[in-house]
Amino acid sequence: MSKHSFLFSVAITAAAMFLPANTSAQESAELKVKIGSKAFTENAILGEMVVLLAEQQGMETTHTKELGTRNCWTALLTGEIDIYPEYTGTMREELFAGDILPDDDALRSKLAENNILTTSPLGFNNTYAIGMKEELAEELGITRISDLREHPNLKFRFSNEFMDRADGWPSMRENYKLQQENVRGVEHALAYRALDTGNADVTDVYSTDSNIARYGLRVLEDDRAHFPRYEAVFIYRADLAGRAPELVQSINRLSGTITDNKMLSLNQQVELKHFSDTRVAATFLNESLDLEIEVQESGLLDRVLKTTIEHLVLVVTSLAAAIAVSLPLGIVAAKNPVAGQFIVGTAEIIQTIPGLALLIFMSVGFAFVSLPTLGAFPVIVALFLYSLLPIIRNTMTGLTDVPNSIRESAIALGLTPAARLRLIELPMASRMILAGIKTTAVINVGYAALGGLIGAGGYGQPIMTGLRLNSEALMLEGALPAALLALVVKWGFEISERFLVPKGLRLKPTK
């Protein structure tokens, strides 16, 4: 995988949008290919295959992982990614729900209307299925999905995406006339843990999922043929065929080479034997396409350094923007009570929006106005919005708490309002203002981890990957540095107080 820093990756991604359509083989080293993949192991492995094929041909790559279906599709349409692995069933039932697409030719035509092309099927069918622990299924005599009707008290824990998909829980409930009420959406990896601990009885699985064997699950018979076939393919922007014809040709060589059992084996190598997505993808390409790809994987320190830089970019950029906006707004709120109510009230409303929901709003809204929906930009905007309230409120409070006697003395000395603000009021409010900025910075360190959901990098990336692979080590690789960074930020502001706050205001009150 590419080892470029976050900022350089952003720069080369932007440059790729302006490359000419026809690029010769000699210019392949200047090509930038943007790959996406969804938040499960199989998709990540397939995405890594494209990365390795592109890099073998001398191209620069970025691979945005752990995305949802809608994130991938929107990013493909807007050009934020060039290619990602998808499934025919998902396209028919989710992306083009309501359209009648009886065969592959109809599906290709529909994709072409959006300037998207597709490879032939890769060879395996990863359909949805319903699974439960073998012991519980045996005890209750459940072998088919229809049998679940006789057990309305079972706890269903489905992946969040399955809860909303056209071919997911709503239509399955209707098709099978299921009456269960205890149904919730959770992160897919957590659903398996819930089954293992008895906190869930039934969940959705993929037919090539290594967790079926790992957790001892029984896959229930889809006796009403509810789930369609999910033939794996790569879908890509039409201009990629012009920019990188040799890459597209190499990707098409994968068609028909991956059987159900082979894909299951690849998944097991990552999830059970703990090989990396990249290494497993390289081994398969070497064996199947007779290539000689060598993989150089980053060590722990390199990975932590990279994610730390990415995380700092998110936090520092959003915090700097928030300070630049919040300080003037706080001053206005302190000087004009009517405007202050509106400013603080608006910031409070923003603060009440859950972090995940705000990111989703960012992605959906930005797509309509042709702004980036993946990567750092929407995360920085979300963090900026969350940063407003503490700084505005503390600035306003610090200024309004300046004693009237001091204000009157300043007026008596003939100081203008601007001079009073600069020389007296802001210095006296500096401790309160700095406290608001410190609180915001510490909170932002934690919130920035949500960026892993939309490919912004930072500490959220190993946390999301750790969830997918059920790896505590990977989750800690993101969580521990995040906690340490929060402490460093807190201590840094306490030290800076000695230089930014007038000495007299730093004195602790005596008892």
* End-of-domain residue from the set 238, 266, 288: 288
Structure-block tokens of residue 432: 């309160």
| Residue 141 domain flag | yes
pTM: 0.77
Domain containing residue 157: 128-220
Query: Which pLDDT does position 469 carry in this prediction?
Result: 82
Query: Which pLDDT does position 331 carry in this prediction?
Result: 94
Query: Which pLDDT does position 20 carry in this prediction?
Result: 40
Query: Which pLDDT does position 458 carry in this prediction?
Result: 92
Q: Which residue has the tokens 């890509």?
A: 236
| CATH code at position 94 | 3.40.190.10
Are residues 114 and 33 part of one domain?
yes
Q: At what angle do helices 300-335 and 460-469 cross, to 10 degrees?
A: 120
- Strands of the sheet containing 203-206, edge to edge, are 203-206, 128-133, 217-220
| CATH code at position 498 | 1.10.3720.10
Residue 464: closest CA among 482, 444, 447, 450: 450
| Residue 1 domain flag | no
Q: How far apart are CA 331 and CA 252, in angstroms?
A: 60
| Residue 197 domain flag | yes
| CATH code at position 157 | 3.40.190.120
Torsion angle, CA of 241/245/247/252, rounded to 10 degrees?
70
| Residue 511 domain flag | no
Are residues 315 and 372 part of one domain?
yes
Number of structural domains in the chain = 3
| Residue 294 domain flag | no
Query: Which pLDDT does position 508 carry in this prediction?
Result: 55
Bridge partners, 183 (sequence order): 156
Are residues 335 and 321 part of one domain?
yes
Quick one: how far is CA 470 from the chain centroid? 17
Stretches where the chain sits below pLDDT 50 are 1-29, 509-511
Structure-block tokens of residue 144: 């088919």
Mind listing the pLDDT tens digit for each residue in 238-266? 999 999 999 999 999 999 999 999 999 99
Torsion angle, CA of 486/487/488/493, rounded to 10 degrees?
90
Q: Let me know the angle formed at the C-alpha of 366 by 37 and 385, rounded to the nearest 5 degrees.
A: 105
Tell me phi and psi for residue 129, to 5 degrees. Answer: -150, 170
CB 220 within 8 A of CB 141: no
Query: Which pLDDT does position 397 carry in this prediction?
Result: 93
* End-of-domain residue from the set 199, 220, 241: 220
| Residue 440 domain flag | yes
Are residues 339 and 439 part of one domain?
yes
Structure-block tokens of residue 306: 């990279």
Tell me phi and psi for residue 219, to 5 degrees. Answer: -85, 120
Q: How far apart are CA 402 and CA 424, in angstroms?
A: 9
On the 0-12 / 13-18 / 19+ scale of CB atoms within 10 A, 163 is middle
Are residues 367 and 465 part of one domain?
yes
Are residues 208 and 65 part of one domain?
no
Are residues 152 and 89 part of one domain?
no
Quick one: how far is CA 507 from the chain centroid? 44
Query: Which pLDDT does position 10 carry in this prediction?
Result: 36
Are residues 255 and 322 part of one domain?
no
Query: Which pLDDT does position 505 carry in this prediction?
Result: 63
Are residues 98 and 40 part of one domain?
yes
Residue 29: closest CA among 19, 37, 40: 19
Q: How far apart are CA 305 and CA 308, in angstroms?
A: 5
| Residue 295 domain flag | no
Q: What is the DSSP string of 449-460?
A: GGGGGGT--TTH
Are residues 254 and 160 part of one domain?
no
Q: How far apart are CA 100 and CA 90, in angstroms?
A: 14
Are residues 414 and 449 part of one domain?
yes
* End-of-domain residue from the set 253, 288, 323: 288
Are residues 145 and 14 part of one domain?
no
Q: What is the DSSP string of 258-296?
A: --HHHHHHHHHHHHTS---HHHHHHHHHHHHS-------
The dihedral through the CA atoms of 12, 17, 18, 24 has a sign that is: positive
- Pairing verdict, β 232-237 and 116-118: antiparallel
